[in-house]
Amino acid sequence: MTSPLNRRSLLTRSAAAGLLSVPAVSALSGCASGGGDDNTVERGETSEGNPLGVDPDAELEVVIFDGGFGDQYALDAEAIYQESYGQVAHVKTTEIQTRLQSRFNQGDPPDVVNNSGADAMDIAALTRNDQIYDLNELLDAPSLDDPNVTVRDTLMPSTVEMGQFGSQEVWRLNYAFTVYGQWYSRTALERLEVEYPRTWDEMIAVCEAAKRQGMAGWTYAGVYPYYFNFTLYPFIGKIGGPDVLKAIDNLEPNAWRHDAVKAAFEAYHELAARGYVLRGSPGMTHEESQDEWNGYQALFIPNGSWVENESRRNTPEDFDMAVGPPTSLDSSDAMPFETLWASASEPFFVPADAKNPIGGLEFLRVMLGQQSARNFTELVSSLTCVRGAADDLELPPGLASAKQVFEAAGENLLVPRLPDWYKQLNDEEVGGAVAAMMAGDIDADEAINRCQRAADATASDDSVQKFQHV
């Protein structure tokens, strides 16, 4: 074991030695700006019960990503919407971009899109092409449960910010509130007679204990390698502070060559080099890696709080699922152990060219009501972006743990923006470099160089819209 103060130097030496390979509307109809300069929409008469002026006879089309959360929560919200307004055409799919891109190109999109999953549409490109309706009108409308409180004031931290892309417009609503981190089984740790590792020395010791029992320390979704970023990004931020992640988000020169990035990559490479990663992980989907994890084949998996619902059918009754913050490197980290990546996720947006965009806004207002938000949590084991919606609910183990670590983090929250500002860079380039490193194909330095070269290429590509932290 090494002292906390020499962990960085040990990793560097080991690498060198080769060990680590309303607005108000009073008329019957009016107009509101959406994504395009010339976009106008017709609306019905406004009232206390219909503050946005939804046409009560207009149909609504909602497209839901049929992933870890399923679609029952949306069907239930649609039933509430239909009590006051027109019929809802409900579509569920895992192929969002594949099914919708041509409709956007033809100016015939649905009214609400749950833009999630591996085939999600590029939100930055949609904003650049004026294809999304600004949601500020929704946020400034009275909330469903209390007309004296705006929708905006019912939302959890970072929800509004996650919908912004370098401007005051809010292009999307991230409905779930996700805690990202190292997911694990309390039962598995108890069987090994170890505690959750708070430092990297402890992580190595825990993984070694697991290895002696024929169990891997980690597994991950190698087919979707950006899953590793769910722990890697906050790990970098904990080591070097939030400005390191902001520099990466801003595509600053040499941002990926910061000492904190190097330390984080070398630590993760150590997991692979010491044989602590479950064999076959590079070729696994997210579901396959979760099944191995549920089967006690690996201790930790980088994931988000949707995993409890997504893997429910294969989770043993005694598993006792939990999540912890990314393990710290050592005592000289810039941020405390409790630091966490937790933010609004599972994005919804209203297309600018939708036939019934006002109905789309109202549907989201319904989803942000306490009834729908509590129903979502009970159905899919996830928090929502609605403040207090999970209070007094009996939560399953994983979600209860997520709520606990979120509360423990306090203001020590990190929200990387690279995944949504530059989707291809995050998913393919950075994800690919990390995947190659974790598979043992390249070392930490080469993985960092690949990330920096890809970031530089993105920064110099005039066809890619750029965003900046303000």
Query: Does the pLDDT of residue 54 top 80, yes or no?
Result: yes
Considering the domain architecture, whether residues 432 and 311 belong to the same structural domain is answered as yes
Q: Are residues 300 and 288 in the same domain?
A: yes
N- to C-terminal Cα separation, the chain: 42
Q: Which domain does 106 fall in, by range?
A: 60-175+345-406
251: left (phi over 0), alpha (psi -120 to 50) or beta: left
Whether 217 and 271 map to the same domain: the answer is yes
- Our count of domains for the chain comes to 2
Give me the mean pLDDT over the 2-19 stretch: 40
pLDDT, tens digit (0-9, with 9 covering 90-100), for 15-29: 444 443 333 332 323
CB 432 within 8 A of CB 222: no
76 and 94 inside one domain: yes
Q: Are residues 363 and 303 in the same domain?
A: no
Q: Which of these ranges, 39-43, 111-115, 251-255, has the smallest mean pLDDT?
A: 39-43
Domain boundary residue, one of 406, 426, 452: 406
Residue 31 has pLDDT above 70, yes or no: no
Please check whether residue 19 lies inside any domain of the structure: no
Residue (of 97, 125, 106) closest to 463 by Cα position: 125
Identify the pLDDT of residue 41. Answer: 75
CATH code of residue 442: 3.40.190.10
The confidence score (pLDDT) of residue 19 equals: 41
Look at residue 451 and tell me if it is in a domain.
Answer: yes
* Distance from C-alpha of 197 to C-alpha of 319, rounded to nearest angstrom: 18
What b/e readout covers 3-37, taking b as 16+ CB neighbours within 10 angstroms? Answer: ebeebbebbbebbeeeebeeeebeeeebebbbbee
Q: Does the structure show a pLDDT above 60 at 38?
A: no
Average pLDDT value for the chain: 90
Give 9 or 100, the one with higher predicted confidence.
100
pTM: 0.80
> Are 164 and 187 in the same domain?
no
Tell me if 21 is assigned to some domain: no
Three-class SS state of 113 = strand
| pLDDT tens per residue, range 139-175 | 999 999 999 999 999 999 889 999 998 778 999 999 9
Across 379-385, average pLDDT: 90
Percent of all residues in the chain with a pLDDT value above 90, rounded to a whole number: 82
Report DSSP letters for 379-435, one per residue: HHS-EESBTTTTTT----HHHHHHHHHHHHHTT-EE---HHHHSHHIIIIIIHHHHH
Q: Which residue is it, tokens 């904190």?
A: 260
Nearest to 135 by CA among 102, 77, 174, 80: 174
Per-residue model confidence as pLDDT tens digits over 191-222? 999 999 999 999 999 999 999 999 999 999 99
Whether 382 shows a pLDDT value over 60: the answer reads: yes
Query: Looking at the domain assignment, is residue 467 inside a domain?
Result: no
Least confident of 40-49, 243-252, 301-310: 40-49
Sign, CA torsion 73/78/79/83:
positive
| pLDDT at residue 60, rounded to an integer | 98
| Pair (395, 418) in one structural domain | no
If pLDDT is split at 50, 70 and 90, which confidence band does 40 have? low
pLDDT of residue 118: 85
Does 16 reside within a domain? no
Measured distance CA(414)–CA(422) in Å, rounded = 17
Q: Are residues 243 and 162 part of one domain? A: no
Residue 435 placed within a domain? yes
| Residue 37 confidence (pLDDT) above 60 | no
- The per-residue pLDDT for 348 is 98
pLDDT at 334 over 50: yes
Average of per-residue pLDDT across 48-69: 95
Q: Are residues 432 and 325 in the same domain?
A: yes
Question: Is the pLDDT confidence value at 14 over 70?
Answer: no
Considering the chain, what percentage of its residues have pLDDT values greater than 70? 91
The pLDDT of residue 12 is above 80: no
Q: What is the pLDDT of residue 227?
A: 93
In-domain check, residue 2: no
Is 368 within a domain? yes
Residues 425 and 307 in one domain: yes
How confident is the model over 388-446, as pLDDT tens digits?
999 889 999 999 999 999 999 999 999 999 998 998 999 999 999 999 999 999 999 99
How many C-beta neighbours within 10 Å does residue 331 have? Answer: 12
Task: Tell me, yes or no, whether 116 and 198 share the same domain.
Answer: no
Co-location of 316 and 450 in the same domain = yes
Measured CA to CA, the distance from residue 467 to residue 345 in angstroms comes to: 19
Q: Lowest-pLDDT range, 27-41, 235-249, 384-398?
A: 27-41
What is the C-alpha to C-alpha distance for residues 225 and 429, in angstroms, rounded to an integer? 10
